[in-house]
Structure 1
Amino acid sequence: MAALRLLFCCFVLLTPSLAQETPYIPQTIELDLVFPRNDTYAPIDYFPLILGLQNAKAAWPQGVKIAWKLERLDTDTTLQEGFFPPHEPQYYARDDYHTRGEAPSDPFIYYHFPFVLRNFTSGHWRYSWQFGFAQN
């Protein structure tokens, strides 16, 4: 009986800490375009495209997946495509690439420097992305 009481006390003490580990679901998760905004910018050697993932702590364990496309609208050029996470072994699970474990930061900032935006002079561009989860 004393052992049962001790187990019950341990369970009661652990319950609040377990509740803090698991994020409350549902939660609001946002993927925002941080830079560039709809504006005109001076040409630079490496032009960044930056996305911000808000509430990454809740999103990351669900397997974040981002696919993006960049196309120039005023000329006939090749469509640029990319993805996050990169195709590296630490992101590979169940025949797919996605995030696992804990988020490295919250918010999480994803940036890339597409080759087509290197040393360009001017143009009109469309940047689009898809955002989803490997598991819901």
Structure 2
Amino acid sequence: MRIPWASWLLAACMGTTINASNILEVDLVFPRNETYAPTEWFPVVFAVQNPERARYLNLGLEYILWNLDDSNDVRPFTHELRWANWTDKNPYLAHEFTGMFRNEGRWKVTWTLMWESCNEYAFENHRDVRNMISNMTSWSTWFTTQSTAPKVDLVAATANKTCLGQYGMAINVTDKTMQVPQGVTWSGGGYTNDTCVVVASSTQTPRPDPCRVDIDKTIVASMEASLKNRLCNWLDPPADCPKDDKNAGQQLAVAGVSCLLAAFGALGFFLM
């Protein structure tokens, strides 16, 4: 993957504040460089600000959770963003709950953002190129869990408008789109009708601002309801699930056993 010159990557902790409508910003909103109480289900939340600018970038977002006290405890995650509805909400929130942080410890989250843009000069001048302009950058955040620390509270965490030591990526996405020529390798073509967008270089580096993202009680309730629905549809649902959800999980297990028995029955029939 080609890593472009630094001017293509508009991301840093220092510089001018982002306020232009053509700036796409991606931030790790939670966790931050802080200490939290261990919890059964811990949220990891990313925000895409001005998300309509991501439409033609073929964004990819991956992250790894590291247990710094146990080198064997490493878990990778990926957010599938190519089918995201970028015009629905601003910011667009990508989140996941993990059961990794149920004990005290020291942790690190390393996240990588990838995107692709038009090779404007090559495409306009019909140069023989086979690839898009590919971009990739990574950041890491360290945090701890201690039993004496405050409980995880997304509303309170994002109400704090001081984000010292927090990093994000900002990309200057222009209004110019282009049709990707035949023969150019691009995994995003099927999601964008083979349309790419030109990313501008800049002499200034805007400063990403994760503190602009607020997560209110309604959003938290929606996240928790989604988690509860997933847990209640497992084969071993929690005790506080609605009765219908429990029955659905149990019926799924019975159906699986029935199908297995039916398969063995059919095999016995054919062997007779």
Question: Which interval holds the TM-score relative to the shorter structure?
Answer: 0.5 to 0.7
In the aligned structure 2, how far is the partner of 1:81 from the partner of 1:52? 19
Q: Which has the higher contact order (CA 8 A, sep 6+)?
A: 1
In the aligned structure 1, how far is the partner of 2:30 from the partner of 2:41? 13
In the aligned structure 1, how far is the partner of 2:67 from the partner of 2:86? 36
Partner of 2:88: 104
The one-letter amino acid of 1:130's match is T
Spell out, residue by residue over 1:69-92, the C-alpha distance to the aligned partner (whole angstroms, 9 max, x if none). 11111223232111111xxxxx7x
Instruction: Determine whether 1:126 maps to 2:108.
Output: yes
Instruction: Determine whether 1:58 maps to 2:40.
Output: no
In the aligned structure 2, how far is the partner of 1:78 from the partner of 1:135? 35
In the aligned structure 1, how far is the partner of 2:84 from the partner of 2:99? 28
SS in 1 for 2:27: strand
Which runs of 5 or more residues in structure 1 are unaligned?
Answer: 1-25, 86-90, 92-97
In the aligned structure 1, how far is the partner of 2:49 from the partner of 2:115? 14
**Given the two structures, how large is their TM-score scaled by the length of structure 1?**
0.62
Structure having the higher Rg? 2
Which runs of 5 or more residues in structure 2 are unaligned?
Answer: 1-20, 119-272
Give the 3 Å change call, closer, same or farther, for CA 36–84 of structure 1 in structure 2: same
Q: Structure 1: which 4+ aligned runs deviate by more than 6 Å? A: none
Instruction: Determine whether 1:39 maps to 2:34.
Output: yes
How high is the sequence identity, in percent, across the aligned residues?
26
The one-letter amino acid of 1:79's match is V
In the aligned structure 2, how far is the partner of 1:106 from the partner of 1:32? 13
The one-letter amino acid of 1:75's match is D
What is the deviation of 1:110?
A: 0.8
- Residue pair 2:40, 2:99 contacting (<8 A) in 1 also: no
What is the deviation of 1:35?
A: 1.1
What is the deviation of 1:124?
A: 0.7
